[in-house]
Structure formats: structure tokens, C-alpha cells
Amino acid sequence: MNSATLEVRVDKLLRGMLNDYDSAYGFGSMSSSVYDTAWVACIKKAVSGSTQWLFPSSYNYILDSQLSNGGWPAHPNSTDTDEVDGILSTMAAILCLKQHFQTPLQLRHYGNQSLIEKIAAGEHRLSILLNEWDVGKCNSVGYEVLVPSLLELLEYEDLYLEFPGKEKLLEIRDKKLTKLRPEVLYQGKHFALLHSLEAFHQWSEFNVDKISHHKIGGSIMASPSATASYLMRSSTWDDEAEAYLRLVMSNGHGKNTGGVPSAYPSTNFELIWVASTLLEANLLPHDQTTDYNQALLNILEISRQCSEGLVGFAPGIEPDLDDSSKASIIFSALGKPGFTASIVEHFDSPECLKTYQEERNPSLSANCNALLAILLDSTTYPSKQVTIEKLVKYICLKSQQSDSLEDKWNLSPYYSAMLMSQALTEYLRAFAKGKILQCQTTSIQQSVMITLFHCLVQTLNSQKLDGNWGDKGPMEETSYAILTLVRLLVLPHAQFLRPQILSAIDRGRSFLLGSKTNAPEHLWIEKVSYSSANLAEVYAVAALYIAIDGPSLGQPVSEICKLNNGELAKLGVLIGQGPLSKSPRWIVLASWIESRLYSLEKQWTSTEKDCFEPVAFSWFLANNKKNSACSLSFTHNMIDLSTRINQVTMLRLEDLASQNDNRKERLLKQMHHFVQIFSQPELPLKGFQEIQKPALNGLQDGLKRFPLMIITNGKTSYGNLPTAYSPAATKVFSSFADFFSKQDAISNASGSLKEVLGLEAKQFLTAQTIQLESAISKSYRSCLSCPSNAERSSINPPTGLTGIPLLFSLATCLQDRKNGRRPPSEFQNLLLKDIRDRAESCFLMKQQFHHSASVACRHQAEMSIDYQQSLLTQALKQIQRSKESQPLLDGIVMVLEYVEIRSVETIATHVEVQ
């Protein structure tokens, strides 16, 4: 890359911001917002004894921004496809138009009939948006108070709206405001909630005159909409607030078009994000004496003086975790002491750090920035190591639980991935340098390695053919992804994928250099989404010019999850053979590495690895081949249950191979005992919480007594296994039962899904029992307590034996609405059963196909397989037609891919690697 071009771009960016900076009002480049503009357009003022609309240009801005479908987007020249953006913007715009229709004042140029048509079209579109809105999945900032407020204001205008999520929305709102009283906002402390002051516009008991002391430069928390609400309700006209709004219109992104952003100024936020990004990429001198760095430090010091030593997104605004952490990073990079001790003290919470004191849900990206700030801060304080460990655990857990790395401050998952890769690699570097206390267990570092390598694979796998990433903003999201790959290239296991990573970076950079579009990309989240030309430019510059090879993480990191080079060499030979050859070489290799990393974390015995590692490899390969949107924890859960299914199956097969009927009888009794555990009538309905972890302490020098505690209706009972039972078998069965008791995702699923899961678990064990019983001589059968005829008739032994229906049921539970998803409809449930049955048929027929000696038999099996797979494809397409079923479909497709891999004997090939 041309260094002269780099210097020009960096200088232009930095000089532009400093030239726009005003010591009294700051600056900001956030894009204009229909929502905020609609509030400003509703302001009336008495001028020369005549009441007038104060900002006619804002009213025209709203009129011109309506879409052909009747709704309003968050910003012109975009769509209302983002749920909350479209809902808030359309509600505010309708409110604005209704008020102008009722009281035209001086703005009579727009005919009543045209306004009626616009309002009617908007109401129709709003009804559609609200009915499609999944409130439970919403993560936007402040929606829980803004939308209910607009609902009430529209009711004053005779518009009453009902929709499925309304009750849930009001419940969230009430919980948020439980402890809030108007007099709390009258106090001297700045509250983040004041930034959304318009949410209390209809509060008759709220006296806005008592919050005038909260004004900063004429604004209420740098919010045009909050300031507009304040100005409308103030008992005396506030010239300073009016001057602020006029300044925003002239100096903000709208530039006298009438449009205003959701926040102005955003001085600290933009300066901090630009500077920290350049410093972290080593594209800005780490020198306090340069003009820009001096100016930056002066601005930040002024902000800290009026914010308890912390930083908000603009001077005088309530400090937050994100801006404070980024500012501390800049201090550390420029050789000054950071201030993370104050950050931790101010924002600490049991699970992580809060962005604001009144925050409803934490931010992954803000905690990544906080972790990086703490790691780079040279100062020491008592809670530092504990906080590092807490944040690392939180980031890994949230990353592994998320289908996509969604965050409340940015719409792109690649933004969170970029910050996570930066923070966690810095953590590994600190670990290698001995800066992390050794008392912190290796499992934390292993979890970090698993999280980062999965992030690497997902980022590589999601690049598009033309070299870009993302669906919401290809330029900026591509920049995030490139920076992610550069940071992850230093991982020890990334060296096996180095050609793929370098190629992806090169193609991404070519896309950035070759793209002709300058269209704004609204990825950032305020009350609605917005874009910033300054942020888009700095990430593009960093992605294009950051050095590819960063400092090595060091030998201690390489030792955390060391791979067997001999196994890797054998895998390299097998990749070109058989079923594995159908998948891209790097995906097979990456899947194998992921399976080994997870195996190391699980700490299986050598015997358990025989079951675990082939299964783990198959699941990761299934995930990566389909580039599944399922979370890493979903994959881990499916691996864990599949392993237990395999362990039970192998236990039965080993006894079937034995000629000893006594041994078979002993295992049969154990199997039947565990069938009875899963026969508890209330067990499936309550989500398996009743099964407690078996007490294995008594398994010293042979099993003497094995209690399995069952709690039903608050009463405890025990199923005691005789001393003659096999300790090895007992461990397998208890591990199988224990799996269900430890899954929060299962407990949170709906009752009907849990019931099905319990029945499938019982059917799997019963089928195993029936198969074993059939191999025992008749002389022994008469004295055994085996499954009843009724139980036998409800089971198709081959189906039950595979365990595949159980995996389908688990996948459905994990994707249920109480885990943030929508439940399948009755029709979808029928389709799922059809898919499951046909997948079973394909699996069994393929096994038969591979073992058929006769050409005729193989041909017949092949025709049957093709027919079943065509029906399977049709059923999948029917589920795919409904948008809300996408998470469920992702899980089912992944299970099918796993079944496909198993059925063509990839595992048999893979076992040769062991």
C-alpha cells in the first residue's frame, strides 16, 4: 500500500474533525434521523403574537421521506426493513403529520386530502410493522420507553394500535420504570434516560422546568428529540434550546435541509473512535507531542473534569463504559496512565461491566473495549485481575451462546467480532508475558482459544465471492472483517489456515479499493440506526494499511491447546480421499482443529475420546460446510448428546459381541433402570431439573452403591443400583441422564418440546434395551423385568437405536422462542416429524447400501435414497418459506448435514486418524 496515500487520508480525516470542532458546541457527523426530525417538526412558537410552526424545513423533510409502502425509514434513501427503525420513524412521522393536519398554521401549502392519504398509508404500514415485530428479540437502545410513549401520544390523536407483542413491550417498559419517579430526574446528576426525555412527554406530573439545569450547550443530553420535547413543554420559551436546534440544523449532517441526527454533538465519541482505531493499527504516532494527539488529550481532559474522571460521548454528558474505555486505551497508547480503576469502580456488576448505571441489558462490544483498556492500562489496583477474568468469561460465554454476535451499539456482527478478536488476543498476549495470575485456570485460556478460532472460521466462511462481507453495509463491514482476520492471524492454530486467511484479506482489500459507492451505511445504533463518514473512513484506512503480521503471542499460548502433528499429517492424506474430498480442504482442516480444541477443553479419557472426537469432527464439519448460523454452544450441545448416544450404543454392541449371558443380563437390568428414570411422568414437563448429578464419590475401588436422586413434587426418592452392576456402564448411563439436567436451554424451552425430548430419550434407551434383550437366550428372558408390550409397540427399534430423533428434538428445544426464538407452528411440527423420519430412512438405507454386495441391491437402495431425499428437500423448502422459522431451519439443516456425514461413513474414515 502507498504510504503517501495513507498519510494524506489520515491527515484529511484528522484535520477535518479538528476544523469542525467548536470549543462551545463540539461537532458531529451522525446521519440525519427521520425520528428526531419529526419531533423537531412538532415545535410551535409564538412569533409577533402569532403561533407558527418553528421549523417548516423539518416538516418538509418528513413529507419527502415517506416510502412508497407508506412507512418511513430511519433516514432518507433507505428502507424501513429494520423493525425498530421503521416503527419509531413511522410512529413519529404519523404523529407529526396528524398535528400539522389538525393545526396547519402557516403551512397550508400541502392539501388536506394529500395529508389524509399520507397518514392513512403510514397507519397501514405501521400496523404491518408492529404485527411482524418480535419484541422479545429486540436489542435496540431505549425502544422499551420510546415506543410505548408514542403509542400513548398517537392515542391522543385517535389512533389505537394493537399487536401481538404489545403486552410484552409494556411489561418491559414497566420493569424499566419501576423505580423511576419524576423527582429523580430533577436531581443534579445527569441520567442517560434524559437522552430519551421525549419518552415522558405525556407525563402530566413531570415538570420539565425542573430539569433545565441538565442542559449542556442548550441541549438535553445532546439529543434533538429530547430537546424538542423539553422546549414544547417548557412553561417559558428557552432561547438557548432553540439556538441549539438551529445550530444542529446548520452544522449537523443535514446542513440546513431540516434534518437532524439522533445525537449532536458526538465530539468525544468520534474523536476517540478515530484516534483509538488508528493507534491500535499503529497508523498514528504513539507520541503525546503531535498537534492532533495534544488537541485530543486536551479535549478528553476537559470532559473528564466534568464527568467524575470518566468520559461520555460528548462533553458534559453522562459518562459511559464504551467511551471511557476507549479514552483509557488512548491514554495508555500515548504513554499516559489509564483510568480503568475508576471505570471498574463506576460500572461494575456481578456478571460484567454496565455501559450505563441504569442499563437494562449489557453490551458485548463495550465489555470487549473495557477488557482491552484494562489489559493495556499499566496501573495496578486490587480488583484488576478479578475483573479481567470476569470479562473474559463473559465475552466467551456470550460469543458461544450467540447465533450471531449482535450488539446494542452496532448492527453488524463483524463489529463485535473485530473487538472480541482484539481484546481476547491481547489477553493471550498478557498471559504469555506472565501478566495474568497463574491461579486463573487453564480452562479459561482454552475457552478463549475455542472462541477465537471459531470466530476465525466463521469470518473466513462468510466472505462473499466478490471479496466483501456483510449484508447491511459492505464497505464498513468488510473493514471490520479484515481487521478481525489480521488480529486472529497471530493464533497458533491460524498458521494451518494462513493461505486462506491471506487470500481473504487480499480479496477484501481489493473490494475496498475497487468499490465505487460512497453511499452511507447505517450500521451504528442510537435511538435509530445511523452512519458516520468519519467512522467509515477510519475503519477503511485501518483495514487497508494495518500490518499483516503482528507480534507473536509466544510459546505459553502455543502450549495451551497443542495439537498432535502426527494426527494432522494423517488427516492431510485423508482429506483427498473418499467423502472428505467433497469438502474444501481448509474447511475439513478447520473442523478437525475445532474438534480437537473442544476435546482438550472437555478433558476426556482416552476411551471416551474414541466416542467423542469423531462425533465432534462430524458436527463441526456439518456446521462449517453449511456455514450455519447456529451458535457454538448449539454445536457443543449436539456434540455432547451425540457422544453420549454413541457411548450407550457402543456399550450395547460390546455386550452383544459377548457370549456371556450373565454380562448381557446385568447390562439389560441397568438399561431398564434408566428407562424407568425417563418414565417419570413429570420429568419431561419440568425440563429434567429433577435429575441431579449422580454422586460418583462412592465409585472407589469398585461400585458399592449408586444413588440417583429423583425429585418429584418436592419429594425425593432414590433408585439404587445393585452392587453387581458394572461401574463403567453406570458411568455411561448416568452421564447420559446428567446431560439433560444441566442444560438451561432445555429448561427454558416450552413444555411441549421438553415433553417430546423426554419421550425421545426414553425411546432411545428402550430401543437399546429391546435389542439387547433379543440377543439373550430364552432361558434368561423369563426372569428379567423388560419393557412392556405397550412400550415395545410405541417404538420402531431401528429408529430408536440411531438416536437421531433425539438429536432432532434437542435441536428444536435449543432453538425455541424462550431462547430468543419463535416456536414452530403445528404445520411446521408435522413437517419436522416428516423430515426426521425421512432422514432416518436415508441414514439406514445408506448404511445398507454400503454393506450390500449385490449390484441389484445397491441399485435399488440408491433409487430409494434418491426418492427419500427428494421428499426431504421438499419438506425443508416448505419450512423455509416462513421467515420466522429461520433459526429453527438452521438447526435442522445442521442435524441433517451431520446425519449425512455419518451415513456416508466419514467417521469410519476419520477413525483411522486416531
| Residues in contact with 700: Cβ distance below 8 Å, sequence separation at least 6, in sequence order | none
385 and 413 within one domain: yes
For residue 388, CA distances in Å to 394, 405, 426 come to 10, 21, 11
Least confident of 120-124, 345-349, 571-575, 806-810: 571-575
pLDDT-based confidence at residue 390 (cuts at 50, 70, 90): very high
Q: What is the largest CA-CA distance in the chain?
A: 109
What is the Cα–Cα distance from 442 to 424, expressed in whole angstroms? 15
| Beta pairing, strands 706-712 & 529-530 | unpaired
pLDDT tens, residue by residue, 356-374: 887 878 999 999 999 999 9
Confidence of residue 230 (pLDDT cuts 50, 70, 90): very high
Is the per-residue pLDDT at 706 higher than 50? no
CATH code at position 145: 1.50.10.160
The CA distance from 897 to 899, in Å, is 5
Length of the chain: 914
Same domain, 462 and 373: yes
pLDDT in tens, 835-881: 666 565 566 555 555 444 444 454 444 555 555 555 556 555 655 55
- The percent of residues above 70 in pLDDT, for the chain, comes to 77
The answer to whether residue 224 is domain-embedded is yes
Tell me if 347 sits within 8 A of 354, measured CB to CB: yes
Evaluate whether 903 touches 849 at the Cβ level (below 8 Å).
no
User: CB 556: neighbour CB atoms within 10 A?
Assistant: 15
Q: In 688-716, which positions are buried (b, 16+ CB within 10 angstroms) versus exposed (e)? A: bebbeebeeeebeeebeebebebbeeeee
Q: DSSP E strands: which ranges in 136-269?
A: 215-216, 219-220
d(CA 174, CA 666): 59
* Boundary of a domain, candidates 251, 276, 309: 251
Residue 350 is predicted with a pLDDT of: 93
Query: pLDDT per residue over 609-634, tens digit each?
Result: 777 888 888 889 888 887 777 889 98
Whole-angstrom CA distances from 450 to 64, 307, 347, 458, 601 are 50, 39, 28, 12, 9
User: Is the pLDDT score of 789 beyond 70?
Assistant: no
CB atoms inside a 10 Å sphere around CB 496: 18
33, three cell numbers:
434521523
Does residue 256 sit within a domain? no
Q: Any bridge partners for residue 706, and if so which? A: 721
N- to C-terminal Cα separation, the chain: 45
Could you tell me which residue, 763 or 773, shows the higher pLDDT? 763
Measured from the Cβ of residue 399, the count of other Cβ atoms closer than 10 Å reads 25
Q: What is the mean pLDDT of residues 478-482?
A: 98
Q: How far is CA 382 from CA 121, 245, 379, 385, 706, in A?
A: 60, 46, 11, 8, 45
Cell of 7: 498519510
- One domain for residues 245 and 104: yes
* 299-313, 363-377, 693-707, 757-771: least confident range: 693-707
230 shares a domain with 93? yes
Residue 869: other Cβ atoms inside 10 A: 18
Does 220 map to a domain?
Answer: yes
Query: 3-class DSSP state for residue 691?
Result: strand
Q: Give the burial string for 806-818 (b: 16+ CB within 10 Å, else e).
A: bbbbbbbbbbbbe
Q: What is the pLDDT of residues 5-44, one digit of tens each?
A: 899 999 999 999 999 998 888 999 999 999 999 999 999 9
Cβ–Cβ < 8 Å for 419, 410: no
Q: Are residues 203 and 315 located together in one domain of the fold?
A: no
Whether residue 577 has pLDDT greater than 70:
no
Using CA atoms, how far apart are residues 324 and 313, in angstroms rounded to an integer?
A: 9
Give a yes or no: residue 886 inside a domain: no
CATH code (residue 507)? 1.50.10.20
Which of 112-116, 244-248, 557-561, 659-663 shows the lowest per-residue confidence on average (mean pLDDT)?
659-663
How many CB atoms sit inside 10 A of residue 511's CB?
Answer: 19
**Three-state DSSP class for 525?**
strand
pLDDT at 811 over 50: yes
Q: Is residue 273 located within the same domain as residue 223?
A: no
Residue 785 lies in a domain: yes
Do 84 and 233 fall into the same domain? Answer: yes
Co-location of 148 and 63 in the same domain = yes
Closest CA to 284 of 47, 503, 561, 6: 6
Strand, coil or helix: what is 885? helix
Could you read off the pLDDT of 180-219 as tens digits, one per residue? 777 778 887 777 788 999 999 988 888 999 999 999 999 9
Mean pLDDT, the chain, rounded, equals: 81
Residue type, 593: I
Which cell numbers in the block locate residue 732? 455411561
Whether 212 is covered by a domain: the verdict is yes
Q: What residues contact residue 488 under an 8 Å CB cut-off, 6+ apart?
A: 421, 425, 452, 453, 455, 456, 459, 494, 501
* Distance of alpha carbon 639 from alpha carbon 521, whole angstroms: 39
Q: pLDDT (tens digit, 9 = 90+) per residue, 54-112?
A: 999 999 999 999 999 999 998 876 766 678 999 999 999 999 999 999 998 888 777 77
For the chain, how many structural domains are there in total?
3
The pLDDT value given to residue 729: 79
Specify the amino acid at residue 674.
Answer: F
Instruction: Find the Cα–Cα–Cα–Cα dihedral 869, 870, 873, 877, rounded to 10°.
Output: -160
Helix (H) or strand (E) holding 51: strand 50-53
CA 846/CA 837 separation, integer angstroms: 14
Q: Which of 149, 191, 198, 201 is nearest to 174 (CA)?
A: 149
**Same domain? 387 vs 494:** yes
Residues 793 and 739 occupy one common structural domain:
yes
- Section 527-555 average pLDDT: 92
Q: Are 277 and 415 in contact (CB under 8 A)?
A: no
Q: Which of 814, 849, 876 represents a domain boundary (last residue)?
A: 814
CA-based nearest residue to 614, from 649, 642, 586: 642
| DSSP state letter for 31 | P
CB atoms within 10 A of CB 443: 12
284 and 244 belong to one structural domain: no
pLDDT at residue 113 is higher than 60: yes
Q: What is the pLDDT of residues 296-322, one digit of tens each?
A: 999 999 999 988 899 999 988 899 999
- C-alpha 761/C-alpha 739 separation (Å) is 11
Going from the C-alpha of 154 to that of each of 157, 224, 773, 895, the distances in angstroms are 5, 20, 70, 47
What is the predicted pLDDT for the residue at 720?
A: 47
395, 368 contact by CB (below 8 A): yes
Collapsing DSSP states into helix, strand and coil, what is residue 462? coil
681 preceded by a cis bond (ω within 30 of 0): no
Helix H or strand E segment including 569: helix 565-574
Alpha carbons 838 and 584: distance in angstroms, whole number:
27
CA distance 418 to 162: 40
Q: Is the pLDDT of residue 782 over 60?
A: no
Residue 860 lies in a domain: no
Alpha carbons 487 and 453: distance in angstroms, whole number: 11
Residue-level pLDDT at 852 = 47
Mean pLDDT, range 388-417, rounded to an integer = 93
Lowest model confidence (mean pLDDT) among 142-156, 229-243, 527-541, 544-558: 544-558
* Domain assignment present for 411: yes
Task: Give residue 103's domain range.
Answer: 34-251
Backbone angles phi, psi at 185, to 5 degrees: -75, -15
CA dist 722 and 450 (Å) reads 41
Selected residue with higher pLDDT from 232 and 441? 232
**pTM (global) more than 0.75:** yes
Of residues 850, 650, 645, 866, the one with CA closest to residue 761: 645
**pLDDT higher at 803 or 852:** 803
Mean pLDDT of 469-479: 91
- Rounded distance between C-alpha atoms, residue 570 and residue 537, angstroms: 46
Specify the residue for cell string 407452528: 825
Q: Shortest CA distance to 596 belongs to which of 577, 621, 579?
A: 621
Residue type at 582 in one-letter notation: K
User: Do residues 512 and 541 make contact, with C-beta atoms less than 8 angstroms apart?
Assistant: no
Here the cell at position 524 is 451504528
- The answer to whether the CB of 37 falls within 8 A of the CB of 260 is yes
Helix (H, G, I), strand (E, B) or coil at 428: helix
- pLDDT category, 558, cuts 50, 70, 90? confident
DSSP 3-state assignment of 215?
Answer: strand
**CA-to-CA dists, residue 362 to 354, 368, 524, 821, angstroms:** 6, 11, 17, 20
Of 523, 542, 562, which residue sits at a domain end? Answer: 562
pLDDT at residue 734 in the model: 80
CA distance 593 to 791: 42
Both 157 and 292 in one domain: the answer is: no
